[in-house]
């Protein structure tokens, strides 16, 4: 039974007193075998499905640590600049902790559909007449000014600490680290976290090895591949639509130290991979999550794919972004309400 990542991995995490532990049962997500896709990439592939966290993304692993420590330090509110998964997670964990949550966003840039969790959990959305950088800067200023407000953006180091627990779970289930780990790279906090986790696991003597870290950015938002920030990042994968990653150094170090790489994939490759995951393995993730598989398919196609055991981290649930599916479908015409008509439709597809 899932007790949350703090109780499960306490010795590995920053200190949290019992009374402050704020959990909604995050972590312990399944590592799902992917037999069909394994054949496509020529390695044994597992999917770490982080969409099965309380707010349906991996952000909950870090947020439980950040929010618990905010509570422990006496915070009465938290603040973040985010229009996506971070805000959803912050809103849920703040509600759980009984403190107020403020989400600062550029005016007009928040799609209501993306904000449904923030709104449901009763967080306050503050729209500012400025861009994302201004939202983050003001959030930092407020947390710096008021001792009772905690910043929970990824610059909060407790977030990285919590997210590294995904690596521990992978090692526990497989019995050893995989040969490679593939994941999307946007703000670059998650690749930094996983590498930290695998490194600590190795340094603690549980294994002599650590996986090659393979990070994949969307082509239109690939500052780590291009070597410079993107002023106007563009990709269908909104969760990694970031032009100036906060954890740039951590991501580059992860790739370098592990003998891995950070490369890019196109939006078409991302959407194709998302479709394969849903239609061949039954796992529906948001577009950004599919960047890892898109990258593995690309490497395999070029004869450079990893061998052995490979884990792809699916960072969020497909329900986070329904429009990307709905924008591309059309329902077939209705048929008569008879056995013959429906059986005929079926017969054409399953003779």
Annotated binding site for pyridoxal 5'-phosphate: 85, 186-190, 315
**Between vectors from CA 192 to CA 186 and to CA 195, what angle results, nearest 5°?**
135
| Site map (CB under 8 A) of a copy of itself, residues 187-216, x = contact | ------------------------------
> Residue 323 Cβ, how far from a copy of itself at the closest point, in Å?
9
User: Which two tokens mark 228?
Assistant: 């410079």
Burial bucket for residue 14 (CB in 10 Å: 0-12, 13-18, 19+) = middle
Asked if 168 touches a copy of itself (CB under 8 A), the answer is no
Does 1 engage in binding with a copy of itself (CB under 8 A)? yes
User: Applying CB under 8 A, does 272 fall inside the site for a copy of itself?
Assistant: no
How far is residue 174's CA from residue 155's CA, in Å, rounded to a whole number? 31
Which CB, 155 or 252, lies closer to a copy of itself? Answer: 155
Q: Which residues contact 106 (CB under 8 A, 6 or more apart)?
A: 127, 128, 130, 131, 132, 134, 135
Q: Does 55 bind a copy of itself (CB under 8 A)?
A: yes
Q: Which residues contact 227 (CB under 8 A, 6 or more apart)?
A: none
Residues 113-142 that bind a copy of itself (CB under 8 A): 113, 116-117, 119-122, 124-131, 134-135, 138-139, 141-142
Question: Applying CB under 8 A, does 282 fall inside the site for a copy of itself?
Answer: yes
Cα angle at 193 between 192 and 197, to 5 degrees? 120
Nearer to a copy of itself, 224 or 294 (CB): 294
Binding residues for a copy of itself restricted to 61-100, rule: CB under 8 A: 76-77, 79, 92-98, 100
Instruction: Provide CB contacts within 8 A for 334, sequence distance 6+.
Output: none
Nearer to a copy of itself, 11 or 343 (CB): 343
- b/e burial code for range 178-198 (CB count within 10 A of at least 16 → b): bbbbbbbbbbbbbbbbbbbbb
The one segment of 151-159, 219-227, 231-239, 270-278 that binds a copy of itself by CB under 8 A: 270-278
Site size for a copy of itself, by CB under 8 A? 94
Instruction: State the virtual CA torsion across 9, 97, 314, 180 in degrees, nearest 10.
Output: -30
Helix (H, G, I), strand (E, B) or coil at 192: helix
Q: In angstroms, what is the minimal distance from the CB of 278 to a copy of itself?
A: 4
**Minimum distance from residue 253 beta carbon to a copy of itself (Å):** 29
Nearer to a copy of itself, 52 or 296 (CB): 52
Is 227 a binding residue for a copy of itself by CB under 8 A? The answer is: no
């Amino acid at each position: 039974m899932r007790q949350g990542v703090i109780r499960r991995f306490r010795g590995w995490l920053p200190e949290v007193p019992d009374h402050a532990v704020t959990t909604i049962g995050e972590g312990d997500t399944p590592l799902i075998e992917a037999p069909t896709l394994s054949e496509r990439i020529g390695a044994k592939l597992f999917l770490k499905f982080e969409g099965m966290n309380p707010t349906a993304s991996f952000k909950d692993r870090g947020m439980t640590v950040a929010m618990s420590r905010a509570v422990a330090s006496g915070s009465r509110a938290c603040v973040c600049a985010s229009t996506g998964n971070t805000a959803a997670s912050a809103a849920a964990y703040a509600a759980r902790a009984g403190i107020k949550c403020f989400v600062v966003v550029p005016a007009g840039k928040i799609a209501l559909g993306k904000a449904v969790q923030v709104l449901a959990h009763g967080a306050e959305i503050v729209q500012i007449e400025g861009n994302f950088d201004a939202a983050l800067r003001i959030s930092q200023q407020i947390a710096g000014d008021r001792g009772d407000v905690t910043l929970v953006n990824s610059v909060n180091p407790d977030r990285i600490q919590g997210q590294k627990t995904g690596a521990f779970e992978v090692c526990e289930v497989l019995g050893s680290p995989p040969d490679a780990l593939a994941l999307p790279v946007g703000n670059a906090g998650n690749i930094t976290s996983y590498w930290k986790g695998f490194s600590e696991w190795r340094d603690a003597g549980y294994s002599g090895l650590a996986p090659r870290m393979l990070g994949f950015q969307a082509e239109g938002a690939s500052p780590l591949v291009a070597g410079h920030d993107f002023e106007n990042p563009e990709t269908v994968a909104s969760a990694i639509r970031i032009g100036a990653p906060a954890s740039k150094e951590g991501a580059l170090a992860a790739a370098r130290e592990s003998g891995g790489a950070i490369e890019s994939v196109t939006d078409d490759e991302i959407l194709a991979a998302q479709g394969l995951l849903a239609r061949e393995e039954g796992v529906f993730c948001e577009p950004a999550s599919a960047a890892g598989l898109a990258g593995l398919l690309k490497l395999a196609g070029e004869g450079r794919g990893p061998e052995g055991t490979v884990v792809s981290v699916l960072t969020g649930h497909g329900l986070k972004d329904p429009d990307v599916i709905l924008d591309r479908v059309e329902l077939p015409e209705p048929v008569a309400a008879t056995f013959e008509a429906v059986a005929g439709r079926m017969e054409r597809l399953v003779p």
